[in-house]
Amino acid sequence: MADSRSSIQSILEIDKRFDENYYNYLVNDNYLIPAEAAVIANGLAIFKEKFESGSLFIQRKDNHDSLTHEQILQYYLELALTCGRLDIIKYLIDELHVSLSEEKIFHFLFLHSPYEGNKYSHNIVEIYNYLKNEKEIFSEKALIEEIFLAEAKKGHIQAVKAIIGLKLLPNINITDEAGHTAFFYCILESKKKRFSFNPEELGAADVILSVRDKEILELIELVDTTILAMEDKNEEKLVKLRKVFTDSIDKIPEALIEDCLSRAIELNDVKMIQILLPVCNPDLKFLMLGKVNSVEAGMVLIEHFISTGFVMPEARSLEGYAHRLGLNEYSAGAEQANRFLLHAVAGFVNRTDNSKDFNTILRALQKTVLLNGIANVEVARKILYQTYLEGDPLLLTVGWTQHGVGLSILWDKESNKTYLVFSNRGQGGIASCLNAKGLIKKEEPKAGSVIYEIDGKLDEGFFTRFEIGENKLGLFRYGKKAFEKDIRTCLKDARVLPRFIFAAAQNYATCGYVNTKQSIRGLLCVFSMTSGDSLSEELIDRMSRQYKEFTAHDRNVACSELIEDFQRKIKFDSRHIQKEYQDFIVKLILSHCTSDKPEDIERTQRLFVVLPEEIQEKLAHLIPCHIVTQKADKSSTLQNLSLFRHHEEPSTQNDCFLYSPVTVIADSVDNLLDKYHEMNTLLKFLESQGYTEKDIPKIVLENNSVRIHTKPDRDFKYEVKDLFPKDIQVINVQGRYEFVLKDLKEVNYVLNSLKSKTSDNQTDLDLGM
């Protein structure tokens, strides 16, 4: 091997000059901190001046406030090692006594400068000799071997070259636990970046590739040859290559499998896809859907996923829990809502003895989620239509920019009829999904599902209306009117079946989830109709019981999963994450504590007991007594009668559910608890005046404003008005009255007014003030 100094110097040029132009370029055009620019441009004098003036620490702390002075100096030593600045390294070590671990010194010494435009190379030989003389490094063989292989795996070919040139290792042909040499990883890096490379370029005459190296390099050659054959559509050659692939499949590294599968999907080589899919990394397989550009390849991937099963971990997140349990905390796009619902249905199918109908629904949801992953719009539409023609149900989320509506479609081959179920529990209700006006009576509930019946099949043109851009699958329009026009156009010849499936109105900003879920209810009715039943009240009741069994199961499971995740966060995660989950549970309790449904009460009790004792004590004053198990009743009677609410009205909520960024309401839990405390005190005052839920049927807290709903009695209106400031807003809403306090500070005025009126007749009321 050549002399280390000469071999390194042939690769790395030594130049110690300070480049003032380069320094100015880094500071003015790249906005670097002057001290950083000084190190990169080899400006020792500037660096010294920045240290002595103290600005070196101030400038660095502006961006990294948590760093100590010692850590800041260590950062500059790392930077000087990276850029090969010996004078600055000497100044930091000799005069400022900065030190680094041997591992870090080697890492940064052999690391290429990350700064584009740095025209000066590392002076590695001189720096290495200085560090060794100063006993900063000891050249321990095991450590050098570890660094040698680690730098090779990272693709740092110059670092490998430097270690060889310095003769730091007696044996450069060492292998890692996988049996590979550093030279193998350098060759692999060159192939990834598509540049020619010969191990002899490293300055090593005695390079010996391991047996495993040679095996993998042969497999790389096999993959390259196969990809070329697929590109050339050389079927004769591909027949032989597929056999070789099948025989060698267990030996081929994951990265090569990924490369070959990716190209096979893009080139629509179905046979090669079928060979590679079973051995591909499951996480990578899902990403492969984005490369699909043919119906055949897409169908192969979808059927593979469905047959092998796949999970949606996103459902076990705060976004997922907000949708599954009901909370105005997080918004989710249609794709994300579909994943939450898939998790819910899969859990029900796996854990219960249920009918085959839910297995069919599970398969429909799996296809929807997988189709959302296909970027090619035309291919996704064709697969959707092909699925429909095969007689499989479709379960989709449609609607407009601000709102999601559920849609189920099924073509029954035997009767040659198509059924469509539109479900809407929120904006517009059922009326927004009807193909003509006057089909729903004014006195009937507005939320629920409508079932259409069509003779024959839908044509492919119906599915061209589906917009699948940006991972969104559905009949989306920019506004409600455009969506309603689409319904009238697409379904002008469809028959509305005489019975609507009514449901409770949507209470939370989770439309994409609850309305697609509501479509399952209608789809269960359709399954029975294709077996000979007619759409009767008896059928709707029977299917509704089956549907509610599913929804109750999912809420109970979601509650258990949330508790399990919260307890795990307490053990293993940061305080910030713990508090995020704790606050979420508090808000969930406040949103559901006034429900009179036994299952809601049971879930709220389960959530309450997992909270810390101090939070339980705060909540005990604000929620009904039956939630606070084994504690005295500290809540208002009016509150127990469900006066207390904290939500938006369904008709006014705005989900913006097409947009995936998560939005959390601005109130912190501490602020919410303060507001609830004020409201609870107000309720107790009103109660002390003899008012009941008949007088005041509802009090709604919206952000900082309070709406007090009173009975439709003109005399009572003036009686209540006397309690409030003169400028309070009073609204007549269909005969009843709403008093609007625009600021919670006005509540204090009311409390003081009430207190003064009661002080002559009552003493020492416990009003929580």
- C-beta separation of 591 from 622 below 8 A: no
Query: What is the CB neighbour count within 10 angstroms for residue 307?
Result: 7
- C-beta separation of 515 from 653 below 8 A: no
Cα 661 from Cα 146, distance rounded (Å): 42
What letter does residue 96 receive in the DSSP assignment?
S
- C-beta separation of 733 from 710 below 8 A: no
Count the alpha carbons within 13 Å of 527 in the hemisphere toward its beta carbon: 21
Below-50 pLDDT ranges, the chain: 1-15, 62, 113-122, 468-473, 629-666, 762-769
226 Cβ contact partners less than 8 Å away, ≥ 6 residues apart: 238, 241, 245, 260, 272
Amino acid residing at 171: N
pLDDT attached to residue 135: 77
Amino acid residing at 130: Y
Class of domain 4-212: mainly alpha
- C-beta separation of 147 from 108 below 8 A: no
Beta strand ranges found along 669-746 (DSSP E): 698-702, 705-710, 729-733, 736-741
pLDDT attached to residue 4: 38
pLDDT attached to residue 740: 77
Cα 389 from Cα 397, distance rounded (Å): 19
Cα 594 from Cα 635, distance rounded (Å): 11
Q: Read off the pLDDT of residues 11-53 as tens digits, 9 standing for 90 and up.
A: 333 345 677 888 888 888 777 888 888 888 888 999 999 898 8
Q: How far is CA 243 from CA 224, 235, 252, 297, in A?
A: 15, 12, 14, 20
pLDDT attached to residue 563: 95
pLDDT attached to residue 660: 27
pLDDT attached to residue 415: 95
> Position of tokens 């009790």?
605
- C-beta separation of 676 from 590 below 8 A: yes
Q: Which helix (H) or strand (E) holds 591?
A: helix 575-592
Radius of gyration of the chain (CA): 35
Question: Residue 703: which region, alpha, beta or left (left: phi > 0; alpha: psi -120 to 50)?
Answer: left
pLDDT attached to residue 467: 56
For the record, the structure tokens of 202 come out as 């490293």
What letter does residue 321 receive in the DSSP assignment?
H
User: What are φ and ψ of residue 467, in 5° steps?
Assistant: -95, 125
Report domain extents, the chain: 4-212, 214-308, 314-533
323 Cβ contact partners less than 8 Å away, ≥ 6 residues apart: 330, 332, 337, 340, 510, 513, 514
Regarding pTM above 0.95, the answer is no
HEC string of 596-628 equals CCHHHHHHHHHHHHCCCHHHHHHHHCCCCCCCC
